[in-house]
Structure 1
């Protein structure tokens, strides 16, 4: 089953005074780009989350946000005075050493000091993160499973669209094949007529050479190979869709090949009807390529 690169999942959790909300979402991308926003005091959590996502997701721009709050608001803004004293002492020593060396440091604001890790108990400085991290790791796997399930659900709908477009391409390729076959007699008659006019109006013409040149023109106008390759590409695309993700890059490459054959068919058509079929092919191929951009 193919998967869409678009997905979303959310969940809530709690432990003691802590409450949190997970939000996991993704959009299409050329590769796998995982961006996590989790509190940095939850030591060991971010690498574990990244590893879990990497196992389940192969492609897409993935963003995870963990919003963590405390139920006791007073504790969430309590100043950690021992940590503050240590920080201020270190700052004083740093400024004194800089002055001794003739260096001027920019003034340090209270906000910068308070932003230091552990300065406020609410940032995790007063909590043992291990129990929280362990519970969050356990909760994350079901969240990822729900996320992947949504991508697969959207992928199933996407597979239906792509299959319908492949049906259109296949039908148009067969239409082009029929039109190319129907024009053979007309082209042969035109070439014979051109050969006769050349021979009638020119002296000393090498008939064999002229016939050879006209045969070469006929070969250049033959679209059999392009139609055969279109059929082969349709079969390959169906196999990839049946195989399932990750196949997005392979499908994208196939779309380039589809477009190349349609362009060549149009350039060799020498027929209004065949050109029209080729242009319709290009339209459907462009539409399918837009859809393929969202396949994992």
Structure 2
């Protein structure tokens, strides 16, 4: 199966106290690169999230966004500075004695004094949060993979159309190729005849035509194009990531087509070379997006 490198996925898991939403998007990249953006309290799960994503993605840049709603991430706790509270109490008692006062000290007064109490947040238990987070990540990654698969099918269908066009051009070029040398011989003989006014060295012409035919021979290039297309088609049916291999084959195809264009001295072949270059340019754009 061929996958595109672009896609989007979303997963959501929740309890009565907590809702975790994971969203991820992927774009083209030479390698596989996963970045995660999430609340500080969840950073301990970053590696586990990346491992989940890598089960579904082999190539591309993937950005993962984790959003948490609810009170489940932390729990509040009252912290009392008992030493400070004791110091306050002793100071108040001492003030009563020193100034002959009988002001009673209440708990509400003591606890309202600055610095005696503080409400702090503690991280909640990890087990439940981890399960929600990992489940939501799997859901988002599976959706991302599905979108990449659908786009991959569309890419391959378009590539196959362009490969068919190239194959058709190659077949036509193979029909025209034998005429190139004969047409060159006729043009050469006509020019020599005009220049020498009837005296023509036929052996010399045949030698020149033979040299031209050798230089203009494109059979090897046509064979290699057939071979590259076969390799391209075989790669498409592979289960492994094939983007880099296809990119290499496109470069090789383009090299052979350019060689044919420089060798073949024929307007009909030149027209097909232009068509093949156009098709290869479209294939190159599509291949850049394949995993």
SS of the aligned residue for 1:295 comes to coil
Which has a greater percent of strand?
2
1:179 aligns to what? 176
TM-score (norm: length of structure 2): 0.76
1:271 aligns to what? 266
- 1:77-119 CA deviation, whole Å, 9 max, x = no partner? x79878xxxxxxxxxxxxxxxxxxxxxxxxxxxxxxxxxxxx9
Pair 1:6-2:3 in alignment: no
Q: How many residues align?
A: 251
TM-score (norm: length of structure 1): 0.74
- 1:201-243 CA deviation, whole Å, 9 max, x = no partner? 99xx9x68x8655423221111111111111111111111122
2:132 aligns to what? 135
Equivalent in 276, 280, 291 of residue 286 of structure 2:
291
Gaps of 5+ in 1: 83-118
8 Å CA contact retained: 2:38, 2:66: yes
CA drift of 1:62 comes to 0.6
Range 57-66 or range 41-50, more displaced: 41-50
Q: CA–CA distance in 2 between the matches of 1:238 and 1:120? A: 62
Pair 1:144-2:134 in alignment: no
SS of the aligned residue for 1:243 comes to coil
Q: Alignment RMSD, CA only?
A: 3.0
- 1:241-272 CA deviation, whole Å, 9 max, x = no partner? 12244000000001101111111111111112
Q: CA–CA distance in 1 between the matches of 2:67 and 2:255? A: 49
8 Å CA contact retained: 1:28, 1:294: yes
1:99 aligns to what? none
Q: CA–CA distance in 2 between the matches of 1:71 and 1:161? A: 49
Q: CA–CA distance in 1 between the matches of 2:162 and 2:208? A: 39
- 1:103-148 CA deviation, whole Å, 9 max, x = no partner? xxxxxxxxxxxxxxxx973xxx342233201332234323322221
CA drift of 1:20 comes to 1.9
1:62 aligns to what? 62
1:47 aligns to what? 47
Structure whose alpha-carbon radius of gyration is higher: 2
